[in-house]
Amino acid sequence: MTPNEKTIQELRREVARLKASNETYEKRHYMDTAEIMRLRRLNELERGGILSGRKMTDEIRAGRIVISDFDSRRVNPNSYNLHLADELLIYRDDVLDMKKENRFSIMKIPETGMELVPGTLYLGRTMEHTSTDYYVPLLDGRSSVGRLGVSVHATAGFGDIGFSGFWTLEIFCVQPVRIYPGVEICQIYYHTIVGDYDKYTSGKYQHNSGVQPSLMFRDFVEVTK
Amino acid at 56: M
Cα separation, 111 vs 108, in Å, equals 9
Q: Note the residue count of the chain.
A: 225
Answer yes or no: are the C-beta atoms of 168 and 212 closer than 8 Å. Answer: yes
What does the pLDDT read at residue 27? Answer: 46
Over the chain (225 residues), what is each successive 10-residue block's mean pLDDT?
Answer: 71 71 52 66 70 95 96 97 97 94 96 96 96 94 94 79 93 96 97 84 80 89 58
Between CA 79 and CA 189 the distance in angstroms is 5
pTM score of the predicted model: 0.77
Q: Measured between alpha carbons, how far is 143 from 129 in angstroms, rounded to an integer? A: 22
Catalytic option among 111, 170, 184, 222: 170
pLDDT at position 2: 67
Catalytic annotation present for 46: no
- Packing angle between helix 3-21 and helix 33-47, nearest 10 degrees? 140
- The pLDDT value recorded for residue 89 is 97
How many CB atoms within 10 Å of residue 154? 11
Number of helices followed by number of strands (H, E) in the chain: 6, 11
| pLDDT at residue 206, as a whole number | 85
